[in-house]
Amino acid sequence: MTTSPEGAELVTASPEETEAAAARLAGHLGRGDLLLLVGELGAGKTTFVRGLARGMGLEADVMSPTFQLVRVYPGPLQLAHVDLYRLSNTAELADLGLEELLEEGVVAVEWGDRLQGCPGVRVRLQTLDPDRRQLRLEGAPATWSW
């Protein structure tokens, strides 16, 4: 897999723009793709997943999975939405069944940096000011872009 150069960056000026960027990226996704979303609270990770779901044509009410570690949105290509914010131990991580979820479709993981040593594509979201976010793709195939 070739990786895109550093600098696959985009600045969005509203949640709608972040959703739209994610919806465009969804067009590149297929079964077995793992997206690790990295960014502080409020950076826009959940907003991003909402856009992914829309771009994948899924009728999904995307919210942060508060008590569950994972929410699955079924469709021709399934989207599993994982949030590791409240992850308390690694046994829980093993229970997640990541392999199985990847066999069924795309997996997007909020706080993806907590998945150690996983070969996924990183989407870094950084808050620049109240309305602007910088999105950066790392480790993505060269054909992926914003």
Ligand X SMILES: Nc1ncnc2c1ncn2[C@@H]1O[C@H](COP(=O)(O)OP(=O)(O)O)[C@@H](O)[C@H]1O
| Site residues (vs Mg ion, CB under 5 A) | 45-46, 64, 110
Residue with the CB atom nearest ligand X in the bound state: 44
Smaller CB distance to ligand X: residue 28 or 132? 132
HSE-CB of 90 using CA atoms within 13 angstroms:
2
CB of 41 to Mg ion, least distance (A): 7
Smaller CB distance to Mg ion: residue 2 or 58? 58
Q: How are strands ordered across the β-sheet holding 105-110? A: 9-12, 132-138, 121-129, 34-38, 105-110, 78-83, 70-73
Secondary structure tally for the chain: helices H, strands E: 4, 7
CA dihedral for 117, 10, 39, 49, sign (positive or negative): negative
Q: Using CB distances below 5 to 8 A depending on partner kind, what does residue 41 bind out of ligand X, Mg ion, none? A: ligand X
Smaller CB distance to Mg ion: residue 23 or 62? 62
Smaller CB distance to ligand X: residue 51 or 105? 51
What tokens were used for 64?
A: 């942060």
CB of 143 to ligand X, least distance (A): 24
Residue with the CB atom nearest Mg ion in the bound state: 46
* 3-state SS assignment for residue 109: strand
Burial class (CB in 10 A: 0-12, 13-18, 19+), 47: buried
Q: Using CB distances below 5 to 8 A depending on partner kind, what does residue 132 bind out of Mg ion, ligand X, none? A: ligand X
The binding site for ligand X (CB under 6 A) comprises 12-15, 17-18, 39, 41-47, 64, 110, 131-133
